Amino acid sequence: MMLDYPTLKLIWWLLVGVLLVGFAIMDGHDMGVGTLLPFVGRNDTERRVVINTVGPHWDGNQVWFITGGGAIFAAWPLVYATAFSGFYWAMLAVLWALFFRPVGFDYRSKIDNPTWRSTWDWGLFVGGAVPPLIFGVAFGNLLQGVPFHFDNYLISTYTGSFWALLNPFALLTGVVSSAMITLHGAVYLSHRTEGAVQARAQNAALGAAVVMVLAFVGAGFWLHSGAIPGYAISSAIDPAALPDPLAKTVVRSADAWWANYARWPALWALPVLGIVGALGAALLTRAGATLTAFVASALAIAGVIGTAGGAMFPFVMPSSTDLNSSLTVWDSVSSHLTLSLMFFATLIFMPIIVFYTSWAYRVMRGKVTEAHIRANEHTAY
């Protein structure tokens, strides 16, 4: 039985959000570990301990990144095309940073040379620290609006520049994202290590949590001040209509990003979850409840990403230069048939991915210790 078109549009908005949260949780903790690598590991053995906590899993976690990109391409083709045109250099910077991850993990321990290994350690740092920062900056620009417009043939033209993306508000949201992923990595390290590395990871978790919460709350007050107006649809919309971004009328107002929170007060649970989850994760980590702390950190990620999604709905990619060109849940999607086929494919393959990932982490659970590293000098990491 095929679901109706408006329902599928909403389902795919939720599924893309789930994939983004899944990517931030699963790939985020190994990026956070990479970010902390040069700082929590003070010698080669300690750094090998850190690397071995994520070494068996990081490439499997990339499935969430690839699946998320593929889902946006198939479900929201106009968003995919416009975003990759407007954020072209930012996307390339992410890809260049990600190149350091496979070669860093594979080549770092091939040569027993301090300079060689230190160089790859910093390469892994770049591969872990740069993507979350850029993704956070991208979200900050989405909340402000992206300078693009469509012509009558629905061909998009981007009129901004790479450096314009690095504005103060976007950099603040970049700090939120970076601190959030660093916190997640620190909590994971605390769960998988012991001794000096674990102690440093616990301190890093507390620091990252404080920075994340302060930046997150600061960004919220910045939006609430009206300095960055939100977007709202002022014309009637037909959720069942075929995609046509230019068929609506969009206006900006100071409180538009808060309208959904006034309409559905339950949404306030999302920012609360982001704040309480982050602080709770840091405190639970120091108390030794590291697995519970990891769950709290994951919930904080869901809360932060959900906060942005809840504020922007139904907008996905607002336009700052031609308001009516803004892309929404209703007018940036693929056909009814495409969304249906993708939905049923997701019902089949998503549980398989979750089951395999859970099995892999269960099989390779436990602490990574310096004794284990010394006893396995010739392992890949």
| Tokens describing residue 195 | 């001794």
Task: Determine the pLDDT at residue 143.
Answer: 95
pLDDT tens-digit map of 6-27: 999 999 999 999 999 999 999 9
Q: Is 368 strand, coil or helix? A: coil
Separation between Cα atoms, residue 211 and residue 214, nearest integer Å? 5
Sequence spans of domains, the chain: 5-375
CA atoms 363, 369, 373, 376: torsion sign: negative
Q: Which residues of 22-58 are buried (b: 16+ CB within 10 A; e: fewer)?
A: bbbbbbbbbbbbbbbbeebbeebebbbbbbbbbbebb
334 and 74 Cβ atoms separated by less than 8 Å: yes
* pLDDT tens, position by position, 247-265: 999 999 999 999 999 999 9
Q: Which helix (H) or strand (E) holds 103?
A: helix 88-107
pLDDT band at 378 (very low <50, low <70, confident <90, very high): low
pTM: 0.94
Instruction: Using the predicted structure, report yes or no on whether residue 212 has a pLDDT greater than 80.
Output: yes
User: Which residue's entry shows tokens 């980590």?
Assistant: 285
Please report the pLDDT score of residue 14 as a whole number.
95
Q: Are 300 and 219 in contact (CB under 8 A)?
A: no
- Residues 217-241 have pLDDT tens digits of 999 999 999 899 999 999 988 888 8
Model pLDDT, residue 162: 85
Q: What is the pLDDT of residues 129-186, one digit of tens each?
A: 999 999 999 999 999 999 999 998 888 899 988 889 999 999 999 999 999 999 999 9
Q: What is the percent of the chain with per-residue pLDDT over 70, rounded to a whole number?
A: 99
Q: What is the mean pLDDT of residues 356-367?
A: 86
